[in-house]
Structure 1
Amino acid sequence: MTAAHPAQALEAAGLARPVADSSFDRIARLVQRQLGVPTALVTIVLPDAQVYPGALGLPDPFQATRRTTLTEPLCGTTISMGRPLVVEDLRADPVLSRTATVTELGMGAYAGFPIFDRNGIPVGTVCALDSEPHPWSSTDLATLADLAASCTAELRLRLERQRAHRIQKVAVHATRRTRLLLELTERFAGATTLEETVEAMRASAAGIGTMWAGMALLDPSGTALTLVEREGTYPHLARHWPLTHPAVAAATRTRRPAFFRDGAAVLRAMPTFAPWVDESMGAMAFLPLVTDDRLLGLVALLWRGPHDHDDENRRTAAALATSVTQALARVRVLDERHRVATTLQAAMLTDLPAVPHLELSSTYASATRTDKVGGDWYDAVVLDARSCVLMIGDVTGHDMQAAARMGQLRSMLRTLVWCQAGPPAELLHELDHANIGLGLAASGTALVARLDCTDDDGCRLTWSTAGHPRPVVVRADGRVQELAGRPDLMLGFAPSTRRTDHTADLARGDTLVLYTDGLVESRTVDYAVRADELYRALQDLASCPTADLPRRLVERLVHGEQRDDVAVLAARVR
């Protein structure tokens, strides 16, 4: 195909065939009807002929064959001009009267508008013809212009469709590799732990036909590699490989992948590898994982039989190694961030004080995802020998800022508790005022519970909650009771909101349990169902020592990947 005459593209798109086309025939009917002419054509001009995918009123045999080989046809003249050709009386024109349109087709009037391909090159016409002279009105010409534009749009659509098909056909090989790379990207994009990275690596390796894939990471000593997992491992494959091991020495020393067609190729390159490899083994590849010129580890791939490593296979393997390396680097960064945040958070969760009439115990469990850290907290302040205040809360967010805001909010409440003798509702009210007034503006939930104990009658509990889950009491006889009381608005939105105190009595042996919502919330299970699970777990653990209760409660209710932090605070009346 040349820019001067795009006949090849027209042929490929099926527009150079002398056959009727329903879309172009429809346009010809519109021309005939709107302009009141006996003949209307949609013409495609080829180097040696003219074809009519849309035609009405052509004399025989042209109407049936949809093709002519006229010399110097008027549609050709229209194309060469690149603009409309309009003639009311062809026979009166000394030049046009001798054209084949007049002499062979018997036409007396012509109005034609060019149609263009996707490059703006005229390749055909939409035209109206009459056997007698015909005065063309401005409305006639405007109609032809609109219909020619419709033909151009249809023509370009088909040419683009054909071009896209050709490109797809030519690039099918590259597309397959691109799809593999996209799958690599998708698999590794969500990997935030070493386990997820290994799973993504194994799935990606299976996609290129391997029977097994393993990842070995560099030991802290920097002298050996250790396989992360052994599932599906070839029985004779070692778990620990010194960097001098013949299987990995070349790849780790040169930092370049090593590919072997089969076991025989491995033995030819590394005869000392004979104890672990025989000639019947399949292909192998060792891909070093390198970032900033620092070796992180190595990916080993094993195929079931011989495998020729062509350029595409090597590029895909290199992309796999790059994806694994980037995921490992991300995991290390997230691990470090999580470690810093949890250390900060744990440092702010001080040890619980000793209380004469109570046994106190707590636990804090951070989310298992390394890119998450929460704002869950708890605290206890002893007021005197008979009174103490327990606090628990959850600041909105799962990042370092949430942990920092949690520390500030907790410290403010701790100070208020120590300096003021007010009830819990008043303390939460003052806390929210300070939260907004001092510019912290943290949002979240909190619960304050005051316990006033006597030697004989147990304890009087007064509590107030700012959007936090209500307290649960495990009675001495094993009954589990969620305390009644409507939670008030959470912190950080309306500091002037009225807050309410609620009361309850705790007898000797009763256990007060405070917790954050990470203990019971689930994306897949109804809250009511999870609450029932909490009550059943507390019934089963009713006789559990106070020191173990929070930890065992978390173990009982939180399974698999923990998406949110959890804090539990328990107080048992002695």
Structure 2
Amino acid sequence: MISPSTADLLEEAGLARPVADESFDRFARLVQRHLGVPTALVTIVLPDSQVYPGARGLPEPYQATRRTTLADPLCGETISRGRRLVVSDLRADPRLSRTATVTELGMAAYAGYPIFDRHGTAVGTVCALDQQPRSWSASDLATLADLAAACTAELRLRLERRRAHRIQQVAVNATRRTRLLLDLTERFAGATTLEEIIEAVRASASGIGTMWAGMALTDASGTALTLVEREGTYPHLARHWPLVQPAVAAVTRARRPTFFRDGAAVLRKLPAFAPWVDESMGGMAFLPLVSHDRLLGLLALLWRGPHDHDDESRRTAVALGTGVTQALARVRVLDERHRVAATLQAAMLTDLPSVPYLDLATTYATATRTDQVGGDWYDAVVRDARSSVLMIGDVTGHDMQAAARMGQLRSMLRTLVWRQDAPPARLLRELDQANRGLGLAASGTALVARLDRSDDGGCRLRWASAGHPRPVVIRADGRVEELPGRPDLILGVDPTTARRDHAAALRPGDTLLLYTDGLVESRTVSYATRLTELREALADLAGCPTADLPRLLVDRLVRTEQHDDVAVLAARVR
């Protein structure tokens, strides 16, 4: 009896099918010609039948169908013996006279040799049949033995070729799966936002052949799921699913992946899915997203047609679920850390004071990257009824340490402004000296602008910059001017450096704008181009209320992913 693995290889190689094979038909012709027999066969013996890939002289319907289910002890005995079987007169042998070979095919003499697979197991025969009793000569048998050996060689070549193809397919599939898993790892390792995770799920699910992937996440209370991916097949699904809903509970309670060949299989095991699943749907998989025994959500996959989930398919789907889970856990940690840092940073920025002759407004926008918190800050101090000081700065760094240094530096400058009636350049110089002397050693930029009320209703502006972008003024008639004056050295480098004051006049209706470099810096556009865009935006927004100007300006200029914090402070002369 042939082994199951050999039977599979025979089937894959086309040798278990009841069809004529050119090579084995040639062997049958050679047997017929050289031995002078009416019938010659190359037979493959299967568990439930025999097929004849090579056949000459068989009566119909066997010659056409190339298959029989009739028991043939001649082939069976040849195979079981593993050596030749030669019978001169079948009719004279009581054991063989009633076989189908005699009664159905009308044969009287038989000579057969086994053919072998690569393991030396006989899987078929090459035989000669005669309608009359015959004494087989030594030459007949030698010729038949040579043709059987050639037939064995051809069979083995076919099986080896098929086996090599199998091995190649295994290697190709393994390589494909390795690449897919690597791709999954790279996609989810780089995801830092929920939107990026959703995009990675969509791309990865397409890579494993699904037609739709839906992800639902647990809410803050941990009692319900909210669908966050609605594209594709299921636009009619409810967006919110209580965890106690029977269908949801069925696939999340055990917290193990579940796989179904088609919709009918889902309904047989999980009838609660009846409102959303019908029997005609394709294969499905439900993957609970669990981190440290906490359910983060559920990932559902749908294939277009029935899908048999073999071990490789299951492992790949589980790897996708694992990638999603790890990315979600990481994003939640980053979000929480960013919220804490942003809250701390915002707490350091006090509310703007009320100035009788100025309309003040500001905005502070944190970077969209969840792992960054900047050192941007702003402040305003009213010295008396006719004098106020505006400040803005950016401490180097994008982490909690930068935020802490920013708070200390801002507090020192705020104190200096309150305690000293000094010009901006002197305030910056003393701030830099205190920065070095008190061991803070913070580096960054800062700008101090002092506004003194003038008798004509306007303001006299004096300002100094430690490496900070120059102020911009929107005149009452809509003109936009970047004030002249070269910024001095940034803070934290040389506290003895000379610092200069610059002066300008603001008339009623004019608006002074101070901002940090996150508003105009870009990784893809030149600084000069961004300054031009700033001036154009301010010209368009010149007539808007002061309270709206900073926010509208940020919305206008920061159109893509924001890599840096932005602070904007606007002061309009009433």
- Whether the TM-score (by the shorter chain) exceeds 0.5 is yes
Q: Which residue of 2 aligns with 1:557?
A: 557
Q: Tell me by how many angstroms 1:168 deviates.
A: 8.9
Q: Tell me by how many angstroms 1:418 deviates.
A: 1.1
Percent same amino acid among aligned pairs? 82
Which deviations, in whole Å up to 9, do the C-alpha atoms of 1:377-426 show, x marking residues without a partner? Answer: 00011111111110000111111111111111100111111112221111
C-alpha distance in 2 between matches for 1:517 and 1:420: 28
C-alpha distance in 1 between matches for 2:253 and 2:281: 24
Q: Which has the larger radius of gyration?
A: 2
Q: Which residue of 2 aligns with 1:227?
A: 227
C-alpha distance in 1 between matches for 2:288 and 2:558: 38
Closer, same or farther: CA 491–169 of 1 in aligned 2, 3 Å: farther
SS at match of 2:460: strand
Q: Which residue of 2 aligns with 1:62?
A: none
Q: Which residue of 1 aligns with 2:343?
A: 343
Equivalent residues of 1:251, 1:286 under 8 A apart: yes
Q: Which residue of 1 aligns with 2:163?
A: none
Aligned length: 409
Q: Tell me by how many angstroms 1:263 deviates.
A: 1.1
- Give the letter aligned to residue 326 of structure 1: Q
2:276 aligned with 1:282, yes or no?
A: no
SS at match of 1:248: helix
Q: Tell me by how many angstroms 1:251 deviates.
A: 2.4
Q: Tell me by how many angstroms 1:435 deviates.
A: 1.0
Which deviations, in whole Å up to 9, do the C-alpha atoms of 1:7-41 show, x marking residues without a partner? Answer: xxxxxxxxxxxxxxxxxxxxxxxxxxxxxxxxxxx
Q: Tell me by how many angstroms 1:169 deviates.
A: 8.4
The 5-angstrom pairing of residues 204-223 of structure 1 reads 204-223=204-223
Structure 2 runs not aligned, ≥5 long = 1-166
The 5-angstrom pairing of residues 255-404 of structure 1 reads 255-404=255-404
C-alpha distance in 2 between matches for 1:294 and 1:432: 50
- Give the letter aligned to residue 214 of structure 2: G
C-alpha distance in 2 between matches for 1:266 and 1:341: 46
SS at match of 1:428: helix
C-alpha distance in 2 between matches for 1:331 and 1:302: 26
Closer, same or farther: CA 329–384 of 1 in aligned 2, 3 Å: same
Which deviations, in whole Å up to 9, do the C-alpha atoms of 1:64-117 show, x marking residues without a partner? Answer: xxxxxxxxxxxxxxxxxxxxxxxxxxxxxxxxxxxxxxxxxxxxxxxxxxxxxx
The 5-angstrom pairing of residues 173-192 of structure 1 reads 173-192=173-192
- Give the letter aligned to residue 332 of structure 2: R
Q: Tell me by how many angstroms 1:261 deviates.
A: 0.8
Q: Which residue of 2 aligns with 1:75?
A: none
C-alpha distance in 2 between matches for 1:316 and 1:326: 15
Q: Which residue of 1 aligns with 2:405?
A: 405
C-alpha distance in 1 between matches for 2:310 and 2:439: 63
Q: Tell me by how many angstroms 1:356 deviates.
A: 1.8
- Give the letter aligned to residue 193 of structure 2: T
- Give the letter aligned to residue 330 of structure 1: R
SS at match of 1:478: coil
Q: Which residue of 2 aligns with 1:199?
A: 199
The 5-angstrom pairing of residues 88-127 of structure 1 reads none
- Give the letter aligned to residue 417 of structure 1: V
Q: Tell me by how many angstroms 1:250 deviates.
A: 2.7
Which deviations, in whole Å up to 9, do the C-alpha atoms of 1:143-193 show, x marking residues without a partner? Answer: xxxxxxxxxxxxxxxxxxxxxxxx998744332222111111110112111
- Give the letter aligned to residue 178 of structure 2: T
C-alpha distance in 2 between matches for 1:357 and 1:223: 54
The 5-angstrom pairing of residues 91-170 of structure 1 reads none
SS at match of 2:314: helix
Q: Tell me by how many angstroms 1:219 deviates.
A: 2.4
The 5-angstrom pairing of residues 469-508 of structure 1 reads 469-508=469-508
Equivalent residues of 1:248, 1:286 under 8 A apart: no
Equivalent residues of 2:247, 2:272 under 8 A apart: no
C-alpha distance in 1 between matches for 2:467 and 2:476: 28
- Give the letter aligned to residue 180 of structure 2: L
C-alpha distance in 1 between matches for 2:433 and 2:168: 64
Q: Tell me by how many angstroms 1:242 deviates.
A: 2.7
C-alpha distance in 1 between matches for 2:240 and 2:356: 55
Q: Tell me by how many angstroms 1:318 deviates.
A: 1.1
Equivalent residues of 1:250, 1:258 under 8 A apart: no
Q: Which residue of 2 aligns with 1:443?
A: 443
2:509 aligned with 1:509, yes or no?
A: yes
C-alpha distance in 1 between matches for 2:342 and 2:314: 41
C-alpha distance in 2 between matches for 1:409 and 1:272: 62
Q: Tell me by how many angstroms 1:247 deviates.
A: 3.6
- Give the letter aligned to residue 307 of structure 1: H
C-alpha distance in 2 between matches for 1:307 and 1:321: 18
- Give the letter aligned to residue 348 of structure 1: M
C-alpha distance in 2 between matches for 1:250 and 1:457: 74
Closer, same or farther: CA 365–235 of 1 in aligned 2, 3 Å: closer
Equivalent residues of 2:282, 2:306 under 8 A apart: yes
Closer, same or farther: CA 427–233 of 1 in aligned 2, 3 Å: farther
Q: Tell me by how many angstroms 1:448 deviates.
A: 0.5
Equivalent residues of 1:345, 1:403 under 8 A apart: yes
Equivalent residues of 2:223, 2:242 under 8 A apart: yes
Equivalent residues of 1:282, 1:302 under 8 A apart: yes
C-alpha distance in 2 between matches for 1:568 and 1:328: 33
Q: Tell me by how many angstroms 1:457 deviates.
A: 4.6
- Give the letter aligned to residue 466 of structure 1: A
The 5-angstrom pairing of residues 244-263 of structure 1 reads 244-263=244-263
Equivalent residues of 1:391, 1:446 under 8 A apart: yes
SS at match of 2:229: coil
Q: Tell me by how many angstroms 1:540 deviates.
A: 1.1
C-alpha distance in 2 between matches for 1:168 and 1:359: 75
C-alpha distance in 2 between matches for 1:359 and 1:235: 49
Q: Tell me by how many angstroms 1:450 deviates.
A: 0.7
- Give the letter aligned to residue 509 of structure 2: G
2:271 aligned with 1:240, yes or no?
A: no
TM-score for both structures, normalised by structure 2:
0.69
Closer, same or farther: CA 272–356 of 1 in aligned 2, 3 Å: closer
C-alpha distance in 1 between matches for 2:170 and 2:519: 56
Equivalent residues of 1:334, 1:370 under 8 A apart: yes
Q: Which residue of 2 aligns with 1:22?
A: none
- Give the letter aligned to residue 238 of structure 1: A
Q: Which residue of 1 aligns with 2:460?
A: 460
C-alpha distance in 1 between matches for 2:522 and 2:257: 44
Structure 1 runs not aligned, ≥5 long = 1-166
TM-score for both structures, normalised by structure 1:
0.69
SS at match of 1:254: coil
